[in-house]
Amino acid sequence: MLNLRFIQENPELVIEKLKKKNFDAAGIVGQIIDLYKKKNEIQAKADQVKAEMNKLSKEIGQLFREGKQAEANAAKERTTELKDTIKQLDDSFATIDEQVFELQVQLPNLPADLVPAGRTPEDNVTVKSGGELPTLGADKLPHWELAGKYNLIDFELGVKLTGAGFPVYKGKGAKLQRALINFFLNEAEKAGYLEIQPPLMVNEDSGFGTGQLPDKEGQMYHVTEDNLYLIPTAEVPVTNLYRDVIVEAKDLPVKNTAYSACFRREAGSYGKDVRGLNRLHQFDKVEIVQIAHPDNSYAILEEMVAHVESLVQKLGLPYRILRLCGGDMSFTSALTYDFEVYSAAQEKWLEVSSVSNFESFQANRLKLRYRDEQTKKPVIAHTLNGSALALPRIVAALLENNQTPEGIRVPEVLVPFCGFDLIN
RNA sequence: GGAGAGAUGGCAGAGUGGUCGAAUGCGGCGGUCUUGAAAACCGUUGAUCUUCACGGGUCCGGGGGUUCGAAUCCCUCUCUCUCCGCCA
């Protein structure tokens, strides 16, 4: 959520920057400025009348204490009109306040200057790539067939239990999941992140805080009986840990990591994109989250990207890092790097991580602040997060890229965690 | 699920209609003393909106109401605790 004052003071800047996200903000910004002005006028008036009322009330109290009943009662009559005025002003203030808010939440975050212009994934910029593309024989199999051949993942059983997109992992398939989760958590811990085990359901306030609500209402599973949402990512609970919190500047950056199952309705997805592990309704992910001082949030973004890069390197996967263009970025992000790994049998790049700086956009909603060391005043912090990493597509690429006639080779770094180096 | 109690500043905790944004203690910050530290003592210490500023407004779990005036009374929701029931 953009700051109202900022919008009011920099309307042209907001409109200009949002063009890069292919968002025409002119109308909304204009309305916000008009309403904001009106809102302030009403508040000024209301404050004035309330001040008068407070003064009068004190006088009446004084008169009663002095036993001047008649004068007190006379003064009471004068308050009637003030009360009405206050009620009216408060009502119109509330109405306008709500209108402003509704417009305010429609504005996406401003893209950073680094963000390339563009509309579609084709316009994303590859900033780096690494690893060797494997050359597989003609008998190469896609991961869903490998998963069946080696009895690692049963998609049909998942359909029986729940539905499409809820796979059942078995044997070495299940162990590989556990190994990856442990490996990722260990790496995060080594990089200074505190491990968190968060709830998998959150309330509405949390959904709003990180920007899933009201924007992506339909993408989350909603438990209506208790009005709770299944988390689409650990980002939601882990970032909301700091909702309504003022952090001491010396405690920045705050670095948290969490493994969680993630639940996504993925309404609107179809076809070959959802084959096998490519797109699931439930999947496992280790997330890293940082709360940063605004002065160095971009340095921290680079640090997080480097951390994720180290993971795909250690797993020996060919990867590329993309800087997302304005049109492909999320609503809440200011700058996002996507990681893709190459899935050699499908012969396509799969997104396995998204690392973003949200600047103050989430923190504004969360009221997440730090106390400035000089002024001692609370200032809105910056939040960042990234997948480190999401499992399913990593598994897809590992299975496909490492297939050999003898079986599937397990990356060395995972062997201590899963206890085998070959799936056969 | 049933019965009862409760929700106040970073924490603990007072406050049952006016002078209460709120006593007191702890914690934090600054200082005195000290070679330094501790102890002791003194001072200071919530957030937010608005205004160039002075100032003014709002906030005692959320929402609504009564009243000239609400932390305090009423209604409602949420949450927490205790006991009972159920249970991984």
pLDDT in tens, A257-303: 999 999 999 877 776 677 899 999 999 999 999 999 999 999 999 99
Query: What ipTM was reported for this prediction?
Result: 0.86
Q: What amino acid is encoded at A239 in this protein?
A: T
Planar angle of CA A357, A360, A361, nearest 5 degrees:
85
Determine the distance between A301 (CA) and B46 (C1') in angstroms: 33
**Residue A170 structure tokens:** 């078995």
What pLDDT is recorded for position A272? 65
Residue A292 backbone dihedrals phi, psi, to 5 degrees? -125, 160
- Residue A219's Cβ-side half-sphere holds a number of Cα atoms within 13 Å equal to 16
CA of A236 to C1' of B9 (A): 28
CA A381, chain centre distance (Å):
15
Query: Is A250 buried (19+), middle (13-18) or exposed (0-12) by CB count in 10 A?
Result: exposed
> Which pLDDT value is given to residue A319?
97
Contact residues for A298 (Cβ-Cβ < 8 A; gap 6+):
A112, A335, A357
- Cα angle value A86/A87/A90 (rounded, 5°): 80
Amino acid, single-letter form, for residue A246? I
Q: What is the 8-class DSSP label of residue A411?
A: P
Q: Distance (Å, rounded) from C-alpha A215 to C-alpha A212?
A: 6
Instruction: Report if pTM > 0.90.
Output: yes
Please answer whether residues A158 and A168 qualify as being in contact, where contact means their C-beta atoms are separated by less than 8 angstroms. yes
- What's the CA A29/C1' B54 distance, rounded, in angstroms? 32
Is residue A172 within 8 Å of residue A422, measured between CB atoms? no
Distance CA A386, CA A258 (A): 11
**What stretches in chain A show pLDDT beneath 50?**
none
How far does the CA of A53 sit from the C1' of B42, in Å? Answer: 40
* Domains of chain A in sequence order: 4-104 (1.10.287.40), 121-423 (3.30.930.10)
Nucleotide nearest to A244 (CA to C1'): B47
What are the binding residues of A for ATP? Answer: 264-266, 351-354
What does the pLDDT read at residue A64? Answer: 83
Chain B nucleotides near the protein (CB, 7 A): 18-19, 47-51, 55-58, 68-69
How many Å apart are CA A417 and CA A265, to the nearest integer? 31
